[in-house]
C-alpha cells in the first residue's frame, strides 16, 4: 500500500462543525478511509456499501479477512434495507439501547457486501452515541463500516494520538474529537438462536441486558478457557489488544494478587527485565519496584475501562518487557474489562 497523506482535523464533540464533517463525508463518499471518535473507541470508517472501500479497511489495519465488520447507522430506519427482518425483540432493544454501545446481529440483505460479513449470513449493526460519529454518518448518507482504528492485534485507540501512531500515512483523514467515553468496544449480541447470546462483552453490561432480556447469556467460548470451543464471533479467536511486552494477568483476592505480583516483579527484575505493573488506586502504593501505572479506582470500574487501552499503550512507550496486571471483578463493565485483559495477556493467567 503506497503512502497516503493523512489529514488530521480537530472537531468539536458538542457541536461538530458542519464544514469539517462535510470534508470527512466527502472522503467516505469517494471510497476513502476516515477515523472518527465514537463513545466506545475510535473507529476506522469506510462506505459500508462500497466493497472496494471496505477492503481498504482490512489492508490499513492488517485485519484478517475472516473477521467481519460492524456497520454504523445514524438512525433506526437505516437498518431496514440492510437486513431481512427486524424481530420484536431487536426492535425493543434498539429502542432501549440505541444510540449506544450495543451491536445487534441481523440476517443480512443482498445489499451488504460479502467482505463486511466475512461470508456469514448475519450482519452486525449499531448506532453509536457520539455527536461526531452520528454527524459523519448522516452527512455521508451511507452506513459506515468501522472496526476499531488500530493496527490489528494492538490495543484499541481511545485518543486520536493512538490512531495517528498506528495509521498515519495509511488512511485519508483522522477526526480528533478528544478522548472516547467508555473506553471498551460495544457489546455484540446474537438474537438468532434459542437463547440470546453475548458474543463479545462490551459497553452495555449483562446486568443491563437482563433487565430487558432475562434469559441472555454469554457465549460459552467467553466463559470456558477450553480451546476447542469455537467463538461465534470470529474476532474473539484472535490475539488482541496486545501490548509489546509479555503480559501476565493475576486473578484472586486483592491481597494475594499484590503479593504474587511483588514476587514476580522481583524475580523478573533480577533477571534484568524491565517490569511494568498495572495496578489500581487502592494498591499502587504497595509496590516497591517496577514501573507502576494505575488504571483507576476499583470502586469506579468505568474509570478503569476508560484507561485500560491507553495504559497498555503507555507500557509500550516505556518499553517494558513484562507487564504484571491485577485483575478486577467481573460484575457490570468488569466483564468487558476482564475479557480485554485476558486477550491482552494471550492466555497468561495466574490464579492466586
Ligand atoms: P471491532 O469492530 O474491530 O471491534 O470488531 C467487531 C467485532 O464484531 C468482532 O469481534 C467481530 O467478530 C464481531 N462481528 C462482526 N460481525 C459479526 C457477525 N456477523 N457475526 C458474529 N460476530 C460479528
Ligand atoms: Mg477491534
User: pLDDT of 193-241, one tens digit each?
Assistant: 889 999 999 999 999 999 999 999 999 888 776 667 778 888 777 777 8
The partner residues of 71 in beta bridges, in order of sequence, read: 125, 145
Nearest CA, atom 23, ligand 1: 233
Percent of the chain surpassing pLDDT 90: 91
- What is the rounded CA–CA span in Å between residue 147 and residue 6? 18
Q: Which residues line ligand 1 (CB under 6 A)?
A: 67-68, 70, 105, 117, 120, 122-124, 147-148, 185, 188, 199-200, 232-236
Nearest CA, atom 7, ligand 1: 235
- Mean pLDDT, rounded, of the chain: 95
Name the pLDDT band for 347 (thresholds 50, 70, 90). Answer: confident
For the beta sheet containing 291-294, the strands, ordered from the edge strand earlier in sequence to the opposite edge, are 291-294, 275-279, 322-326, 246-251, 349-351
- CA–centroid distance, 147 to ligand 1, in Å, is 8
Name the pLDDT band for 26 (thresholds 50, 70, 90). Answer: very high
Residue for grid cell 514501573: 291
At residue 47, φ and ψ (nearest 5 deg) are -60, 115
The residues, any chain, with a CB within 8 Å of residue 326's CB and separated by 6 or more, are 250, 254, 257, 258, 261, 278, 279, 280, 283
Nearest CA, atom 21, ligand 1: 233
Q: Does the pTM exceed 0.85?
A: yes
Atom of ligand 1 nearest to the CA of 69: 15
Q: Determine how β-strand 102-107 pairs with β-strand 217-218.
A: unpaired
Nearest CA, atom 3, ligand 1: 147
The partner residues of 189 in beta bridges, in order of sequence, read: 104, 198
- pLDDT average, residue stretch 7-25: 98
Q: Identify the structural domains of the chain with CATH numbers, from first to last.
A: 7-222 (3.90.870.10), 246-351 (3.40.50.11030)
User: pLDDT of 324-334, one tens digit each?
Assistant: 999 999 999 99
Would you list the DSSP string of 26-85? Answer: HHHHTT--EEEE-SSSEEEEEETT-HHHHHHHHHHHT--TTS--EEE-SSGGGGGGGBS-
User: In the predicted model, is pLDDT for residue 1 greater than 60?
Assistant: no
Would you list the DSSP string of 75-122? Answer: SGGGGGGGBS---HHHHHHHHHH-SSSEEEEEEBPTTS-HHHHTT-SE
- CA–centroid distance, 304 to ligand 1, in Å, is 23
- pLDDT average, residue stretch 89-100: 97
DSSP 264: H
Amino acid at each position: 500500500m503506497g503512502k497516503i497523506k493523512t489529514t488530521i482535523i480537530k472537531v468539536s464533540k458538542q457541536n461538530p462543525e458542519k464544514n469539517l464533517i462535510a470534508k470527512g463525508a466527502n472522503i467516505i463518499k469517494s471510497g476513502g478511509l476516515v477515523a472518527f471518535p465514537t463513545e466506545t473507541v475510535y473507529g476506522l470508517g469506510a462506505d459500508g456499501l462500497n466493497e472496494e472501500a471496505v477492503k481498504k479497511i482490512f489492508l490499513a489495519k492488517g485485519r484478517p479477512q475472516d473477521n467481519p465488520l460492524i456497520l454504523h447507522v445514524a438512525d433506526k430506519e437505516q437498518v431496514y434495507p440492510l437486513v431481512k427482518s427486524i424481530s420484536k425483540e431487536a426492535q425493543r432493544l434498539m429502542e432501549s439501547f440505541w444510540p449506544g454501545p450495543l451491536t445487534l446481529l441481523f440476517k443480512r440483505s443482498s445489499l451488504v457486501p460479502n467482505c463486511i460479513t466475512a461470508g456469514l449470513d448475519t450482519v452486525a449493526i449499531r448506532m453509536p452515541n457520539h455527536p461526531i460519529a452520528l454527524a459523519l454518518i448522516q452527512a455521508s448518507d451511507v452506513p459506515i463500516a468501522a472496526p476499531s482504528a488500530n493496527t490489528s492485534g494492538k490495543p484499541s485507540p481511545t485518543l486520536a494520538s493512538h490512531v495517528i501512531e498506528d495509521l498515519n500515512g495509511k488512511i485519508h483523514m483522522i477526526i480528533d474529537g478528544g478522548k472516547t467515553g467508555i473506553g471498551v468496544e460495544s457489546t455484540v449480541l446474537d438474537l438468532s438462536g434459542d437463547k440470546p447470546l453475548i458474543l463479545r462483552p462490551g459497553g452495555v453490561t449483562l446486568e443491563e441486558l437482563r433487565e430487558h432480556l432475562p434469559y441472555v447469556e454469554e457465549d460459552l467460548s467467553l466463559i470456558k478457557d477450553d480451546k476447542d470451543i469455537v467463538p461465534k464471533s470470529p474476532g474473539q479467536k484472535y490475539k488482541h489488544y496486545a501490548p509489546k511486552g509479555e503480559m501476565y494477568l493475576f486473578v484472586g483476592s486483592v491481597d494475594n494478587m499484590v503479593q504474587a505480583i511483588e514476587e514476580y516483579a522481583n524475580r523478573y527484575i533480577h533477571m534484568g527485565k524491565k517490569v511494568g505493573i498495572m495496578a489500581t488506586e487502592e494498591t499502587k502504593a504497595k509496590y516497591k519496584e517496577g514501573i507502576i501505572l494505575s488504571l483507576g479506582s476499583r470502586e469506579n470500574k468505568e474509570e478503569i475501562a476508560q484507561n485500560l487501552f491507553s495504559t497498555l499503550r503507555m507500557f509500550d512507550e516505556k518499553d517494558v518487557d513484562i507487564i504484571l496486571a491485577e485483575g478486577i471483578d467481573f460484575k457490570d463493565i468488569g466483564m468487558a474489562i476482564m475479557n480485554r485483559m485476558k486477550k491482552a495477556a494471550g492466555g497468561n493467567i495466574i490464579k492466586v
